[in-house]
Amino acid sequence: MMSVTFTLATLASANVRGRNEVWTEEQEIQAGWVPRGNASSHDLNSHDLLSIPKEGLPEEFSWCNKDGENYCTMSRNQHIPQYCGSCWAHGAVSALADRVKIARGAQSGTDINPSVQHVLNCANAGSCHGGSAGSVYQWLYSSAISLETSNPYLACSSESSEGFCRSVDTSCSALNVARTCGGFSSEGGPCTGLNHYPNITISDYGSISGSAAIQKEIYNRGPIACGIDAGPLLNYESGIVDNREGDVDHIISVVGWGNDASKGSYWIVRNSWGEFWGEFGYVRVTFGSLGLDSCNWATVADYTAPEKHNQFPCHEGGDNCKGGPSPSPSPSPSPSGQCHAISAVVTDDWCTANCAMGYCPSDLCTCDGESA
């Protein structure tokens, strides 16, 4: 294979990044999450049970070209319609979307893309000023994520003052989980928060470190979200990055690996800076470079899809999807009594209001009449 050199723009100092978009362990704990958390038992971690072929892992492997099929979903841009440091949500959501595509099979048709904005509104895993990919999966373990078509990306969170964010309501309400608008406001057409909407759930999550574990997880189950040092990538154009800097401040998704005759093994990395950046939104990074060593994964439990015949059809204006039980495919009855916060990150009022709308995470709330 021909060796490709790492190319930078001439004015390397023109793009300066002075922020860290990855939470510290202290920030994760403060938000109620477990740093490097795993859902399955440490004695029986599902990742540890994965195997590799007797002949070893292949020298090159990518879910974007596996047996001639592309299981990679779209490349996203976290920085439009205004700047937002939500890489942590994009990396986690993109890896999950790929795993849904893998679960559906190569001939599944249109991709199912989870909503990053739902994560920003409801997960309590970060904001436009940074967050945690592992915390996204911990939140999703007891919840469900809506799709992009019912909650498009706004690049806003509650504290952001960028662009039009001051005028945007990002509270975690039914309207900000999944919505539709039945007409112009001048026509009296309301926007409706949906309690039935296509969604995705997960069955397990975990954290790994080291190239061997990363390769094993990707090979067996699909792309993963990983930390990386973004500084050397700001003005990247093409080629293989071989840079031992490792001040991790950014989250990306890794879809596979390759091998170069001169630079050796490298990761195939999907960024969230748009397809105009890098190699159509991707970058290749040698093993051991840019601090890419610690990652998070999640396994798909269920999802709404045409071939599963599990969609609840809502009217154009959403009038038949206002209220009722939680969304399929993982329904649970809405509580009828008072709900109480069991975590310091929410209040009793928050639990009562959101549980009544079908969003009732068991790690945050408990309700009267529920079994302990």
Catalytic residues: 87, 250, 271
Q: Which two tokens stand for residue 192?
A: 């409706």
Q: What are phi and psi of 102, to 5 degrees?
A: -65, -45
Kindly list the distances between the CA atom of residue 191 and the CA atoms of 85, 117, 316, in Å, as whole numbers in the listed order: 28, 17, 11
Q: What are phi and psi of 221, to 5 degrees?
A: -130, -15
| 3-class SS of residue 219 | helix
Instruction: Tell me if 95 sits within 8 A of 222, measured CB to CB.
Output: yes
d(C-alpha 314, C-alpha 312), whole Å: 6
Which residue is it, tokens 């199912």? 112
| 3-class SS of residue 297 | strand
DSSP 252: E
Instruction: Tell me if 56 sits within 8 A of 226, measured CB to CB.
Output: no
| 3-class SS of residue 268 | strand
Q: CB count, 10 Å around CB of 245?
A: 12
Kindly list the distances between the CA atom of residue 128 and the CA atoms of 85, 102, 144, 203, in Å, as whole numbers in the listed order: 4, 29, 21, 27
